[in-house]
Amino acid sequence: MFPFKKKKNIMDVRTYGDSGLKRKSASVREVSDEIRKTAFALIDTMRADDGVGLAAPQVGLNIRMVAIGCAAIKKDAGMMLLSPGERELLPRMPLVLINPRIISYSDVKDVSEEGCLSVPDIYAPVERPVSIVLEAGIIDGELVRAECGGFLARVLQHEIDHLEGILFIDRLEPEILSDIKPKLETLKKLGHKKGFVKKAGGSLL
């Protein structure tokens, strides 16, 4: 017998300039078969593109779903004391969160370089709270409410921003944004750009 291989459902990732990336996404009302199919496709697409997170609007679907997870998050987390959310979610990755929202943010912030599958080739430092309290449904699972720190906190904030139509470049210091403006204009003109080179060690969200 031939080994059976599950067909992967890889979707086209929209890039900067796509109007759907600026739109606020609608809540998921019920976890239908369609939503389950979308969840698998989000994970397959995230993995195929080497991402650590992927929000539904990035593949043209303005619904409140995000895929998260990859070895990079786990590796990072292994280096430090884990938050309750990391302890709960990391072993279950990759996973898809339904209607995720952030209940509260820490006052303490830090700055770290971010990249995005929808803004290929551009990396820039973004200031964000170091810890958040997440509330989210897990597909075919329970509702999770947990304090998340580490790299996971940053990934979640980046992905949930996508559901609000916000990109990481919208959160940059004005001088940094003006530095990358020419690259953004080129990206907008080229539209969907395939086969960009991933920066070594960079994380795409």
Using CB under 5 A as the criterion, which residues of the chain lie in contact with Zn ion when the complex forms?
Answer: 116, 205
Catalytic residue among 147, 159, 173, 175: 159
Taking CB positions, which residue lies at the least distance from Zn ion?
A: 116
Would you say how long the chain is, in residues? 205
CB atoms within 10 A of CB 120: 22
CB atoms within 10 A of CB 157: 22
Task: Give the whole-angstrom CA distance, residue 90 versus residue 171.
Answer: 26
Report the nearest approach of Zn ion to the CB of residue 161 (Å): 8
Could you tell me if residue 58 is left (phi over 0), alpha (psi between -120 and 50 degrees) or otherwise beta?
Answer: alpha
Nearer to Zn ion, 89 or 205 (CB): 205
Residue 90 token pair: 């990391």
Report the nearest approach of Zn ion to the CB of residue 116 (Å): 3
Report the nearest approach of Zn ion to the CB of residue 175 (Å): 22
Q: How far is CA 93 from the centre of its chain?
A: 13
Nearer to Zn ion, 116 or 163 (CB): 116
CB atoms within 10 A of CB 127: 11
Residue written as token pair 């409140």:
64
Nearer to Zn ion, 83 or 157 (CB): 157
Report the nearest approach of Zn ion to the CB of residue 182 (Å): 20
Task: Give the whole-angstrom CA distance, residue 145 versus residue 161.
Answer: 18
Residue 147 among the catalytic residues? no
Report the nearest approach of Zn ion to the CB of residue 15 (Å): 10
Residue 178 token pair: 């003006």
Nearer to Zn ion, 46 or 116 (CB): 116
Nearer to Zn ion, 108 or 197 (CB): 197
Q: How far is CA 126 from the centre of its chain?
A: 15
CB atoms within 10 A of CB 203: 24
Catalytic residues: 159
